[in-house]
Amino acid sequence: MMSTVMNSADLHPAQIPGYDGGPLTHQTGLLDEPLFWLGHLYSCVQSEEGEELLFGADYDAVGDFQRRLWERAEWPAFTVPLAADHRLHVVYRTFTDDTGTDYLLHHPDWDRAELLARDDGHFMGPGLSWPELVAAVDNALPGGSTTDPHARLLLLLPAFGDGEVPDGAVDRLADALRARTNVDEPGPLAAVLLEDQGAPGPARWTTAGHGFSVNDGEYSFRNPANRFALSADCLARVANALAP
């Protein structure tokens, strides 16, 4: 059953420059819902083993929870603050027949937010390397939807893709799953999540020849070789904003 955290009393309108849709609503109570996380991480698994580890006996309950979430007129939105007043926004786009989750980066001096990744039937990304992900997770800056590193890690994980994750990454993700979900085997699930890394799989990140971090993802806005990539200036300011 959907929790009362979805009550209209919890809704606080927000705007993201250059981003159409909404109304955007901060719904931080969702971050305390174990079923929310299972649906949020669904695109990160690409195998039957991963689905079984993620959903277990909760498959039907997750489906019901997600269906009601996507049918809402309001667009749930979450924010992770970064250094120098930058913000990472995670928006649940509840358009009928065009649902998905958008990951955007913004700064008050920018005219518009930059789209880093899109998690839907036409996935675009990755938008974050492992060092960038960890930097956002661990900065403990106030003013966002949560300062809890476990919640931040799971919230941003679908936008992540990196072929080089360090030793200890599985344990770190397992700790987050253990803290925020009720999955039976967080360790094996964490290993699968970091192996599959969503629809595009891992990407290779480099700085050589550019002076700022880019990747080789076929569907990434941060791959300068793609025709839909961010401009060079935007790539540079995104990389600077996300730099560990």
C-alpha angle 104-118-175 in degrees, rounded to nearest 5? 80
77 φ, ψ (degrees, to nearest 5): -135, 145
pLDDT attached to residue 7? 36
* CB-CB contact of 17 with 111 (8 Å): yes
Can you give the pTM of this predicted structure?
0.92
| Spans in the chain with pLDDT lower than 50 | 1-13
Q: What is the pLDDT of residue 14?
A: 60
pLDDT tens string 133-147? 999 999 999 999 999
The reported pLDDT for the residue numbered 77 is 94
Which DSSP state fits 128?
Answer: B
State how far Cα 171 lies from the chain centre: 19
Which of these, 106, 113, 128, 131, lies nearest to 44 by C-alpha position? Answer: 128
**Residue 13, class by beta-carbon neighbours within 10 Å (0-12 exposed, 13-18 middle, 19+ buried)?**
exposed
